[in-house]
Structures are given as structure tokens and as C-alpha cells.
Structure 1
């Protein structure tokens, strides 16, 4: 039996082997009300493919944008969305929680 995280890693690996530029986003920390637990992952490609979820939809767009920047620059990022962060409301994280997401390009 494979876990959801293993499935996302396999998908990201397969996309990279097929020549896609890929980034992987992983929830590293949550606090309060959060739609996805730590360890949840999402893979994003330059061509627009996405697999997995880091928030059930509310911050996926912002994380996908960051993933594309990480692919472009080669630099990882630690994203912080929470109730005190104006960006959290902008992207739809109005659940009252906090989520940290680590984004890294897949080599």
C-alpha cells in the first residue's frame, strides 16, 4: 500500500524523467484550523500540470506561483500563510489557521 505522499513523489519523479520541469511543495507545519496536515504534498510543472494538494484549494494558486519561481531560479522557498498574513486572506486562507509550505525544484 502506498501513501498519498509516495504517490505525489512518484508522479513528480515520472514527470521529471519525461522532461518536465517540476517543483514539489510540502506542508511542513500547521497551526489551528488547517485543511491539510503536515506532510501533504503538491507537484507543479512549468507546463501547468498539478498533482496533490497542500490546502484543499485555498492557497494552491499562490503555492503554484511560488513553485514556478523556484523552478525558474533554482532556489527553494518557505512560504508562510496565516491569520496575521494579509496574503492569507487574499488567497483564501480564511479558516483561521496557519500553514507553512516548503517549495523546492525537483532536479
Structure 2
């Protein structure tokens, strides 16, 4: 079993546990990446209605924004397509070797 598969299994198991205990849950999934990206396509993070999270979609650099959008999705029931990125030029300014982009789909789970 690959690391991604093990990670995904753990995230989905935690989401199922939250749902079974009566919590509302949103699932965030990396659906596309370009250039440098800390997590591959298919990486997932579950967020419950208290803000607890399991898994990762970025290794930390965009997690806060994804949690915020997940909480909003739980409130209005609407999925979101999020895009984060930095150009190659901006990457050098903040001390990174290269730029990149990541798209994350966030959806409430029912």
C-alpha cells in the first residue's frame, strides 16, 4: 500500500468516525497541481464542524484557508473549488526555489 493510499484511508476513516458520532464533515481533495506542490493530486483532508482536521492538502502552507472554506461549506452546503499559487518570480522573493499552483475541491459530506 502506498503512502497516499494509507493517508487517504486514515482520513476517510476519521471522517466516517466523525459522521457516526453526529459531527458534520467536509472533505478537501487536491485535484490538480502545477510546478512545485507539497502534496500530490489525491491528497485529502477532512474537517469537522468544530474545526478539527485529519490529513493534509498542503503540508501546512494553505491548510488554514482550506479549513476556513470547509467550515463555510458546512454552513451553506455548497462545494468550493480553491486555487492557490505563487509565480516563479514571487517564489524567489519569498525564498522558494520555484513557483507552483494547487487546486483543492472542498465539499460537505452527507
Tell me if both proteins adopt one fold, taking TM over 0.5 as the criterion: yes
Which residue among 59, 63, 72 is the counterpart of 1:60? Answer: 63
- What does 1:25-64 correspond to in 2, within 5 Å? 25-64=28-67
Pick one of 4, 9, 20 that aligns with 1:6. 9
Alignment partners' CA distance in 2, 1:7 and 1:47: 19
User: Among 91, 104, 107, which residue is 1:104 paired with?
Assistant: 107
The total of aligned residue pairs comes to 100
Q: Which 5+ residue runs of structure 2 have no aligned equivalent?
A: none
Supply the distance in 1 between the matched residues of 2:45 and 2:59 (Cα, whole angstroms): 11
Q: Distance in 1 between matches of 2:13 and 2:74?
A: 18
Please state how far the C-alpha of 1:6 moved relative to its aligned partner.
1.6
Per-residue Cα deviation, 1:14-37 (whole angstroms, up to 9, x for no partner) = 101101111000000001000000
**Rg comparison, structure with higher value:** 2
Aligned equivalents of 1:96 and 1:61: distance in 2?
20
SS at match of 1:3: helix
Query: What secondary structure, in the 3-state scheme, does the structure 2 residue paired with 1:72 have?
Result: helix
Q: Detail structure 1 runs of 4+ shifted over 2 Å in the superposition.
A: none
Q: How far off is 1:48 after superposition? A: 2.1
